[in-house]
Copies of this chain bind each other. A is one copy, B any other.
């Protein structure tokens, strides 16, 4: 094969790009290192020059996704005009906006991430995401507790619990997607809406907020997402 030399930075990112596409398309287990290097156009040796193992590539992908997601939400968290509840709502609104804007890719992602054979992929990404998100969520709750706008005696524990709940939402979203793909968009949307309302309710209750102060969903969101 022709010898092509690129800067390590470019190569690394190209490899992660390929990994992202292939892992999400076929699943982590069903993607071989040979697939990746064929796609990225470099040799086995070169690949192992950059990554110690196939797992290390996955790790790097998870880390990059976590970093991007952090960049996405950092502004919200630094905005001084918001109180804790406002920040939480901003987070939800942001994730909602992203879900509708990027529905096609995101649907793809969810579909890939929750395939039974893709647990490893999912778990690594989730882990990285939680590691990056937890400190921020904790800080929000801590300040909220300080302000008195919510009640979280142990902010870190509560934050981790909120993040663990999010997993449930993702699972249900996947189920709704499957159902919608099977043609039953309306009832899938109804289920998803109902579930997200319950999620919002749970968040409010955990933080002892008045009902209605947290907006995880908005009218028509589920349908818009599923129909996109």
Contact = CB atoms under 8 A, between A and B. Distances in A.
A165 B205 CA distance: 14
A202 B158 contact: yes
Interface in A146-165: 153-154, 157-158, 160-161, 164-165
Contacts of A123: 119, 123
Among the interface residues A161, A165, A205, A208, which one has the most CB atoms of the partner chain B within 10 A?
A161
Interface stretch (A5-13, A42-50, A191-199): A191-199
Contact of A167 (B119, B124, B164, B206): B164
Contacts of A195: 154, 157
Interface string A38-60: 00000000000000000000000
A195 B164 CA distance: 14
Contacts of A164: 164-165, 167-168
Interface string A109-121: 0000000000110
A189 interface: no
Contacts of A202: 158, 161, 206
A201 interface: yes
A216 to B, nearest CB: 12
A202 B153 CA distance: 11
Interface string A161-193: 100110110001000000000000000000000
A157 B208 contact: no
A194 B119 CA distance: 30
Interface in A48-106: none
Contacts of A157: 194-195, 198-199
A80 to B, nearest CB: 28
List 3 A-B pairs, minimum CB-CB distance, nearest first: A157-B198, A164-B168, A119-B123
7 contacts: A120-B120, A153-B198, A154-B198, A158-B198, A164-B168, A165-B165, A167-B167
Given A154-B198, A157-B198, A161-B198, 12 more contacts: A119-B119, A119-B123, A123-B123, A154-B194, A154-B195, A157-B194, A161-B202, A164-B164, A164-B167, A167-B167, A205-B205, A205-B208
